[in-house]
Structure 1
Amino acid sequence: MATEKIFTHPLGILAAATGAAFLWGSAFPVIKLSYAELEIGRDQVFAQILFAGLRFTLAALLILAFMKLVGRSVGYQRGSWRGVAKIGLTQTLLQYVLFYYGLSGSTGVQGSILAGTTSFFQILIAHRMYADDRITPRKLAGLVVGFAGVVVVGVSGGTTGVHFGLAEICLLAAMFFGGLGNVWSKKESERLDILYMTSYQMLLGGIVLSAIGAAGAGVMPFEWTWNAAGMLLYLAGLSAVGFVLWNTVMKYNQVGSISMYLFLIPVFGVFLSALLLSEPLHAAVWLALGLVAGGIVIVNRKPAVPAAAADNGRPA
């Protein structure tokens, strides 16, 4: 199968996983710009959740439109509701409700550091669910190195104080549900089409997020401008493409080898925030990028073949 060959080739994995991380990283500055354009304050959690609901609902509709365009069926696939509902509940609904609530009471520094824990949760969950995806010393070493890069990103702005309360617990819970949803997506993709699964889980999660946000902020509290509409369309597009890329590369590879790429998200977020928001780009970010890249290499490096074993494999 051509798709499997692409997404199991080292270059295909690198392109897909890094591409998804880059798109998700770009969401941070664009969301900030959107909030400024729509005058959504830091403490307006319901308005933020409503905006997220509109984003994911539109992302789902974009995927469904693409499926129609290429002649794929968008009709209900019998027996799929339970799997789609599980993923929508965790990967979209619970992750983003807890994320926005937690971020409203925490700092950006701690938010970026805690966001890096998704990789840990994914690998721990996969360790329990897949016999061939166990945690090894090599994976653990790569995780530690990669997470060190996320910590460097977080403290590079000069803020090193650490607080832990309800907001931080919500952020950790959000990352857990995100990791759980990702692993469940891999499991369900064994029997469901990636585009179908991704679109309907996002549609379900987006509609419920919109309802929660509207309950607290009103049905349409925003004064839309062309700039705001364009940014919403971009955010929906990156969600659609990012989740399709990520779910596809997860389908064909071990969770433990792919999860490391999630550490790139805050690194890309810092780079793109410097570009789009004129925020300072500290030299430590380059160190962070190096650490994350090093962690990815450690996790994905093939174990060396012992010399004796190699000799035994040679023809006499």
Structure 2
Amino acid sequence: MPDRSHFTRRWLVVLTAIFCCLLWGSAYPAIKTGYALLSIPADDTASQVLFAGYRFFGSGLLLLALATVTGKSLWSFSPRQWGQLALLGLMQTTLQYVFFYIGLAYASGVKAAIVNSTGTFFSVLLAHFIYRNDRMSAARSIGCILGFAGVVLVNLGRGPLNFDFTLMGEGFIAIAALVMAIALLYGKRLSQTIDPVVMTGQQLTLGGLVLIAIGSFSGGEVTGIGWHSGLLLGYLTALSATVFALWSFLLKHNPVGQVIPLQFLIPVFGALLSAYFLQETILEWKNLMALALVCWGIWLVTRPSGQQT
């Protein structure tokens, strides 16, 4: 039977992860509101990528400033470590968002959300083969399935799903999810030798710069930033800095399989916050059932290993 300190630490990890997912979920209505305030149309991928670049580059600078204030070294890395940080930034920030935004232009929002949720499965499955202390169990498998079912349910439209599949649409969304899963595991490995705050700040800065370059050279524009849009961009910047740093810290000190499945909460929080801020419908049976499925799945995947079957 686990002692009280182990129980307290486990639930502190769970609550921190839930807080991260809440912030991540708030990005959905915040980004949509930002597009409206900045007059960025839905089909203007270049401007969306540029907007993302500004957000992540600012987040990186914010974390690097925090690291400097707390006395952490920002530049004392070997050439090999600089290469690793650059690779992480290109994967986790640049490549993942390029594939995601292109795929989103060719796939419906419902199908994109469902396909993108496969990133959780990729992470847990890869961790099973990479880490000896992070094996799949029957309870964890069932929990992941229940969580995924909740994500599917909360994203269902009123009509039947269209299962047409295209490489540039659903295919690119799946590639983005796979890239993100690989980047999270790679970041967990790097965090063992590089401070998580410094690592996250460097990769966000490098990845954000590349996104800015891609968006700019593709003809993207982000103009007319005013008081409201500036505050919103500042919130998204602080959000990314906080979430990525906390998530990297959680992955450094905990098995991937105990943290990653909680990402199922992101679309649930996104739906709840979108309903509040964007006046979208949430009080439907499918949304309430999705919340129940996700919570059940979280309980299964976060139980102590001694209680799992």
**Cα shift readout 1:270-296 (whole Å, capped 9, x = no counterpart):** 000001111111332121111111111
Residue 107 of structure 2 aligns with an amino acid whose one-letter code is S
Query: Which among 275, 283, 286 is matched to residue 284 of structure 1?
Result: 286
2:35 maps to 35
- What is the DSSP-based 3-state SS (H/G/I as helix, E as strand, rest coil) of the residue aligned with 2:218? helix
Distance 1:216 1:75 in 2: 31
Query: Which among 197, 214, 217 is matched to residue 216 of structure 2?
Result: 214
2:229 maps to 228
Q: Counterparts of 1:1-316 in structure 2 under 5 Å?
A: 9-78=9-78, 79-155=80-156, 157-158=158-159, 160-166=161-167, 167-218=169-220, 220-281=221-282, 282-303=284-305
Shift of 1:138: 2.3
Specify the structure having the higher radius of gyration (Cα): 1
Per the alignment, do residues 221 and 295 of structure 1 end up closer, same or farther by CA in structure 2, a change over 3 Å counting? Answer: closer
Per the alignment, do residues 251 and 148 of structure 1 end up closer, same or farther by CA in structure 2, a change over 3 Å counting? Answer: same
Distance 1:7 1:252 in 2: 15
User: Which piece of structure 1 moves more, 231-240 or 80-89?
Assistant: 80-89
TM-score (norm 2): 0.92
Distance 1:47 1:198 in 2: 24
Residue 149 of structure 2 aligns with an amino acid whose one-letter code is A
Does the CA contact (< 8 Å) of 1:120 and 1:143 recur in 2? yes
Does the CA contact (< 8 Å) of 2:55 and 2:233 recur in 1? yes
Per the alignment, do residues 305 and 136 of structure 1 end up closer, same or farther by CA in structure 2, a change over 3 Å counting? Answer: closer
Which segments of structure 1 move beyond 6 Å, counting only runs of 4 or more? 5-8
TM-score (norm 1): 0.90
Task: State the number of aligned residues.
Answer: 301
Shift of 1:86: 2.3
Q: Say what the alpha-carbon RMSD is for the aligned residues.
A: 2.0
Distance 1:204 1:303 in 2: 38
- What is the DSSP-based 3-state SS (H/G/I as helix, E as strand, rest coil) of the residue aligned with 1:143? helix
User: Which piece of structure 1 moves more, 220-229 or 39-48?
Assistant: 220-229
Q: Gaps spanning 5+ residues in structure 1: where?
A: 307-316
Shift of 1:159: 5.5
User: Which piece of structure 1 moves more, 193-202 or 119-128?
Assistant: 119-128
Does the CA contact (< 8 Å) of 1:6 and 1:12 recur in 2? no
- Percent identity, aligned pairs only, is 39
Distance 1:269 1:53 in 2: 21
Does the CA contact (< 8 Å) of 1:119 and 1:259 recur in 2? yes
**Cα shift readout 1:69-93 (whole Å, capped 9, x = no counterpart):** 3333333423421221221121111
Does the CA contact (< 8 Å) of 1:198 and 1:243 recur in 2? yes
Per the alignment, do residues 235 and 7 of structure 1 end up closer, same or farther by CA in structure 2, a change over 3 Å counting? Answer: farther
Per the alignment, do residues 195 and 42 of structure 1 end up closer, same or farther by CA in structure 2, a change over 3 Å counting? Answer: same
Shift of 1:104: 1.4
- What is the DSSP-based 3-state SS (H/G/I as helix, E as strand, rest coil) of the residue aligned with 1:155? coil
Shift of 1:198: 0.3
Shift of 1:230: 1.1
Residue 302 of structure 2 aligns with an amino acid whose one-letter code is N
**Cα shift readout 1:62-118 (whole Å, capped 9, x = no counterpart):** 111212233333334234212212211211111100111111111111122122111
Per the alignment, do residues 54 and 6 of structure 1 end up closer, same or farther by CA in structure 2, a change over 3 Å counting? Answer: farther
Distance 2:105 2:307 in 1: 50
